[in-house]
Amino acid sequence: MAHRTIWGSVLWLAAIGAAQEFDSFTVSTEMVAMRDGVKLATDIYRPARSGQAVDERFPVLLVRTPYNKAGVRGDAEYLARRGYVVAAQDCRGRFASEGEFYAFLNEGKDGYDAIEWAGAQPWSNGKVGTLGGSYLAWDQYHAAMYKPPRLEAMFAVVGGANFYQEFGYPGGALNLGWPLWLLGSARSSQQASANPDAVEKMNEIAKQPGAWLREDPKKRGEIFRGFPAQQRMYEDLYAHPAFDRYWKQRGWYTAGYYREMKDVPTVFLTGWYDYFGPGSIRTFAALSEKQKSAKKLIVGPWPHGVGGRQCGDAWFGEAAGLETRAYIADWFDHTLKGKPLALIGSEPVRIFRMGGGSGSRTAEGKLDHGGEWRTAAAWPHPAAGGVRYYLHPGGGLRTARPAGAGEPSSYDYDPMNPVPTIGGRYGVGAATPGCAQDQVCRPDILGCDGAKPLNSRPDVLSFQSEPLDAPVEVTGFVQAKYWVSSDAPDADFTAKLVDVYPDGYALIVADGQIRAQFRNSFEKPRPMKAGKTYEVTIELGPTSNLFAAGHRIRLDVSSSNFPNVEPNPRKARNSIYHDARKPSYVELPVVK
């Protein structure tokens, strides 16, 4: 009964959006001086009638981006027609802005200065809101740590809390997505025009990144010669494999500075398959506890690009879609103009619980996995409790703890033949499809040879339940604990939570890994001793999925996931234990 009272099904409202108040807009560009004299290029979009800027004071919405302010134009036009001045600014050292670029670390003070400048202009009423996704959400958090007086509200899309854990070294293993991001940053840098041959090579790498990602890290980094900012960031990445002072700086580590952030109403929008999803949810929960102003969390069945009705190979239904622009306008109409919320609703939490679909194929060929929206007063889910599913000899996964002694399950790991990434939170374009995917190889997937299931490989162990007699709803953070050993001083261990359909389709729900030298602390690595057993913890992140009756819950175990993470360079014989003294398990937040 408590579950039904607190968590009710929601009919997701159509994205009607705020009414258009103005028939046009104007745009101009200014070079805005920061406190150190560096000037940042800023496009100013103003509400207009018949092409003439309206001579009134409006709330200002600030977007700060390293991806070119021109890319903000669509959102800026939409919002200007609805009664906002929009300021779109290139970050320091990017595109038309002056200064030297270094990702994330300059955005706090520059963001503060930009907010205060925007609020003091003659077309501003003094109220400033910030918005944007990914990097553009992180830079909002960073600016908020300096408490700019004119900042009134934020709309943060897919912004994280701990860059080391979410994108630098998830579980202590280097995420190859960051070198690829640096590659894209170099291709669009101010140095690109002076290095056309290098840019051409980078463009080819971006199309087919596999060979570059397999290179020795030092050789791989040679591409950044002539691009000093990206070269420095690449070298710093490899110079800081532990969670040290470098990663604890404000720009990288939102979670370490929650108490410094200005208390303003904030929306956190993310997806279950977003790599910054764990940080978005943790930041919402932490600020909801520490601050007084309204905080809203919306989590859909989406990857890093939010709002769609499908993700990877799965279709989640028409109701899964969300028009981000309309929600942005709704939030700022409420927080900056005093209007009632029309779309976002009064509930602090709205999440999309995946699963429960027909399992048939849509006309577009997607798997109908289905799902529905739920609301709540808080996160974590008030009706969810941890249920341990233990690994058993022979591949069983049961809630009963294993009894007696037994031999571990062992396999050989070869860094030259890593397990391919298929689905999950991380991917490398079309070469490694992300999101919901069947755990079966295809010739077009990087690292695949043929079309066999991943768990047919000798270095992938699967543990699965019997077909479920009744549905099992899992909502919350998923964690696995293994007892392991290796004949190497370090080894990686991976975990994939899989929803197995009656026909065998194996849909990845969540995944994670741990580099064993970081088993006790990400700050102080400790090598393993050959043959000694250790307990390791793997964070698989948050999810919300209904494992339907007749489906199986499966956990896949291995020691690589390429190119999600860089393979551990050491060959190893690795073992997973599943006996009474050393029980390994995955703990699922099951809704009662």
pLDDT value at position 336?
Answer: 98
pLDDT value at position 403?
Answer: 95
Whether the per-residue pLDDT at 12 is higher than 90: the answer is no
- Give 27-95 as a DSSP string: EEEEEEE-TTS-EEEEEEEEEEETTEE--S-EEEEEEEESS-GGGGHHHHHHHHTTT-EEEEEEPTTST
Give the pLDDT band of residue 431 (cuts 50, 70, 90).
Answer: confident
Q: Tell me if 571 sits within 8 A of 415, measured CB to CB.
A: yes
Give the pLDDT band of residue 16 (cuts 50, 70, 90).
Answer: very low
**Tens-digit pLDDT profile for residues 22-53:** 999 999 999 999 999 999 999 999 999 999 99
> Burial, 343: exposed, middle or buried (Cβ in 10 Å; 0-12, 13-18, 19+)?
buried
pTM of the shown model: 0.96
pLDDT value at position 134?
Answer: 98
Pairing status of strand 58-65 against strand 572-577: unpaired
pLDDT value at position 18?
Answer: 63
**DSSP label of 565:** B
Q: What are the structural domains, with CATH classification, of the chain?
A: 2-164+249-376 (3.40.50.1820), 177-239 (no CATH), 384-591 (2.60.120.260)
What percentage of the chain reaches a pLDDT higher than 70?
97
What whole-number distance in Å separates Cα of residue 295 and Cα of residue 272? 19
Give the pLDDT band of residue 465 (cuts 50, 70, 90).
Answer: very high
What average pLDDT does range 423-429 have in this prediction?
Answer: 88
What average pLDDT does range 470-479 have in this prediction?
Answer: 98
**Tens-digit pLDDT profile for residues 398-423:** 999 999 999 999 999 999 999 999 99
Mean pLDDT lowest for which of 15-19, 196-200, 428-432, 527-531?
15-19
Q: Tell me if 160 sits within 8 A of 255, measured CB to CB.
A: no
Q: Tell me if 172 sits within 8 A of 518, measured CB to CB.
A: yes
Give the pLDDT band of residue 210 (cuts 50, 70, 90).
Answer: very high
Q: Tell me if 172 sits within 8 A of 517, measured CB to CB.
A: yes
Whether the per-residue pLDDT at 11 is higher than 80: the answer is no
Give the pLDDT band of residue 9 (cuts 50, 70, 90).
Answer: very low
pLDDT value at position 5?
Answer: 25
Cα dihedral sign, 565-538-490-411: negative
Q: Find the distance separating the first CA and the last CA of the chain, reported in whole Å.
A: 10
What average pLDDT does range 96-115 have in this prediction?
Answer: 98
pLDDT value at position 429?
Answer: 74
pLDDT value at position 137?
Answer: 98
Nearest C-alpha neighbor of 382 from the set 348, 341, 344, 425: 348
What whole-number distance in Å separates Cα of residue 130 and Cα of residue 253? 19
pLDDT value at position 13?
Answer: 36
- The per-residue pLDDT of the chain, averaged, comes to 95
Whether the per-residue pLDDT at 98 is higher than 80: the answer is yes
pLDDT value at position 57?
Answer: 98
**Tens-digit pLDDT profile for residues 311-331:** 999 999 999 999 999 999 999
Q: Collapsing DSSP states into helix, strand and coil, what is residue 562?
A: strand
